[in-house]
Amino acid sequence: MRNFSFYERVSRAFNDHSSLSRLVVLFTVSGGGLLAYSESKSYPGVKSLGSSEDDNKKKRVVVLGTGWAGTSFLKSLNNSSYDVQVVSPRNYFAFTPLLPSVTCGSVEARSIVEPIRNIVKKKNVEIHFWEAECIKIDAENKKVYCKSSQDTNLNGEEEFVVDYDYLVIAMGARANTFNTPGVVENCHFLKEVEDAQRIRRSVIDCFERASLPNLTDEERKRILHFVVVGGGPTGVEFSAELHDFVNEDLVKLYPTVKDLVKITLLEAGDHILNMFDKRITAFAEEKFQRDGIDVKTGSMVVKVSDKEISTKERGNGNITSIPYGMAVWSTGIGTRPVIMDFMKQIGQTNRRALATDEWLRVEGSDSIYALGDCATINQRKVMEDISAIFSKADKDNSGTLTVKEFQEVIDDICERYPQVELHLKNKQMHDIVDLLKDSKGDVAKESIELDIEGFKSALSQVDSQMKNLPATAQVAAQQGAYLARCFNRMEECEQNPEGPLRFRGSGRHRFHPFRYKHFGQFAPLGGEQTAAQLPGDWVSIGQSSQWLWYSVYASKLVSWRTRALVISDWTRRFVFGRDSSRI
């Protein structure tokens, strides 16, 4: 019996017709010249937990984790024949590439997160979400044990067990301390949204603490010494953000201590950003030197106490102690305990991550998939299968392989063993046949015939080019989307397999194996300077890359809401600077 007011009507229109709201935001965004990408999904309906009566017939897919891999999987899954259950201690997806920006308030934490329930609201797939941590995977009985991550008063009801038909493990990794003493107690990590928020508070804390009366200048200097351990993209970006925050905003509010601030970046290797092109590394090191950020390469941290960090110089083995006020530890990733436990169960010990095959299936577990930072693809070596490949290719069982016979399986080989193509590229060969030719010397292509030994020697080098994929958001997102496409077409591909030949079996693999496509990587260096390494070794450094960075990140954000928020955060920072309230 209520009359809807104008406000309510417009508001409903906006909420119900997302296209309308998008139009408005599109206008906003394109006004800033930033939009590069658009999405056309809509989520009109919601299903309730018990509504589906054919639950029993549906295969249950349990997804662990709502990071890049898990969310990307859920977003791309559109096969209604699954009952999907998601277990994660975080009820949101976080756009982690912007975490370093959150540490200093260039972007707000809430602007980079989107509720997972919002993301998975879909027309046709039934997806349930449980906010809980997976504490044990029981592969034998196809069960996962979960526990609510809340500090609840549920009297044991916070634990529950979920059965699965397929399990998708996308739990990510944790920070790796390399068992360095004192790190967990005294350093900040930068993996979760909460970490970034804590760092922000902690930076302000240091400034307030250093401003207190009755301190010696030495003590103030110690408190304002910020140490970043690890010269990878995260550590470098955080150092740059911190430098900008201090020099653009905090110096105005803390004039008495501004000259005491020091930022040190410790890197155990020879250079920072060593996964990037050398030009980028050199530019970054030079820029940091100009900015007064002290980059110490070849310094390995051996101990952290509450006031000092001890480092060991790689050259001479000298141990130095550096007084510090706040430290951020960002040296790479380690394995989560529950994953370690699971790896023990399935006999994968002494590994950094869960080994999967090229279809992201955990080795030794038929119905378990693993993707993202908690997994590595164990790329099959050509040499392991060399005899099988030979006999499969040698159709007439002559004991020798002609070029024609070989050409018939070339595509399958290249798909199954991507290192072959990489090897050719490296040797600057255009055709795989050149490899055979290479081993045979100067004969006409058509007359080449190889026996098994010749074949082995021709391909003996190809496996040397194998590289693990980096633990990045880009890889995880592509793996999630790939796996969802496999699940979407599971039945179809059972019947008409589309993958490469099974060299060690009969028939074909159901799916094409996962193939990573690298779209480039950014390294923001502060002061509106960004280095970008794009596909094809294209390197771009400077302000244009910064704008490219703005556009790409704005376009890649998960929802229109986060996109609008991040852009308004950038605008706010531009106009008003960053906020330094300690909340």
- CA angle 341–347–349, rounded 5-degree value: 65
CB nearer to its own copies: give 103 or 197: 197
* Host H or E run for residue 388: helix 386-393
One of 150, 398, 426, 464 touching its own copies (CB under 8 A) = 150
Contact between residue 325 and residue 166 where contact means Cβ atoms under 8 Å apart: no
**CA–CA dist 511, 463 (Å, integer):** 23
Q: Where are the alpha helices (DSSP H) in 33-77?
A: 68-76
Q: Which tokens hold the place of 364?
A: 């030794």
CB nearer to its own copies: give 150 or 468: 150
Which residues is 188 bridged to in the sheet? 328
CB nearer to its own copies: give 21 or 78: 21
Q: How many CA atoms lie within 13 A of 490 on its CB side?
A: 14
Among residues 459, 438, 457, the alpha carbon closest in space to that of 448 is found at: 438
Using CB under 8 A, which residues numbered 22 to 41 contact its own copies? 24-25
Distance of CA 444 to the CA centre of its chain: 48
Q: CB neighbours (10 Å) of residue 230?
A: 25
| Binding status of residue 543 toward its own copies by CB under 8 A | yes
E-only strand ranges, 423-506: 449-450
| Binding status of residue 522 toward its own copies by CB under 8 A | no
Using CB under 8 A, which residues numbered 287 to 346 contact its own copies? 306-307
| Binding status of residue 15 toward its own copies by CB under 8 A | yes
| Binding status of residue 193 toward its own copies by CB under 8 A | yes
Three-state helix/strand/coil letters over 317-381: CCEEEEECCEEEECCCEECCHHHHHHHHHCCCCCCCCEEECCCCEECCCCCEEECHHHEEECCCC
| Binding status of residue 58 toward its own copies by CB under 8 A | no
CB nearer to its own copies: give 49 or 444: 49
How many residues belong to the site for its own copies (CB under 8 A)? 78
| Binding status of residue 197 toward its own copies by CB under 8 A | yes
Contact between residue 301 and residue 295 where contact means Cβ atoms under 8 Å apart: no
| Binding status of residue 560 toward its own copies by CB under 8 A | yes
Site mask for its own copies (CB under 8 A), range 65-104, x = bound: -------------------------xxx------------
| Binding status of residue 8 toward its own copies by CB under 8 A | yes
Burial string for 329-352 (b: 16+ CB within 10 Å, else e) reads bbbebbbbebbbebbeebebeeeb
One of 189, 226, 254, 455 touching its own copies (CB under 8 A) = 254
| Binding status of residue 141 toward its own copies by CB under 8 A | no
Q: How far is the CB of 175 from its own copies (least distance, A)?
A: 19
CB nearer to its own copies: give 164 or 390: 164
Using CB under 8 A, which residues numbered 205 to 244 contact its own copies? 205, 208-209, 211-215, 219
Q: How far is the CB of 432 from its own copies (least distance, A)?
A: 49
Q: How far is the CB of 273 from its own copies (least distance, A)?
A: 22
CB nearer to its own copies: give 271 or 561: 561
| Binding status of residue 109 toward its own copies by CB under 8 A | yes
